[in-house]
Amino acid sequence: MGGSTSRQDWEELPSDPDLREDLGYELLDLEAYETDGDRILFLPKDEDMIRNEAFIVAQEEDVCSLGE
């Protein structure tokens, strides 16, 4: 859909979109590393992805387990 989306178009969208097909996301396997201080560094398991700037640095309080 280009441009603006009508209310009807909006209501026809899936309530649980597919991350890859509907949103264009690419899921990665990440490993978490605690750093000195209160930050956690997430790096892709595929080292070639690091060169493509595929990493995350987050404050410890911003990270939670999905089991929580």
What is the distance of C-alpha 56 from the center of its chain? 9
Distance set, CA 9 to CA 6, 15, 24 (Å) = 5, 12, 19
pTM, 2 dp: 0.47
Token pair listed for 21 = 């097909």
Q: How far is the first Cα of the chain from the last one, in angstroms, to the nearest whole number? A: 37
The Cα 44–Cα 28 span in angstroms is: 7
Predicted confidence (pLDDT) per residue in 1-52, tens digit: 456 778 888 888 888 888 888 888 888 788 888 888 778 888 888 777 777 6
pLDDT of residue 53: 64
For the beta carbon of residue 58, count every other beta carbon within 10 angstroms: 13
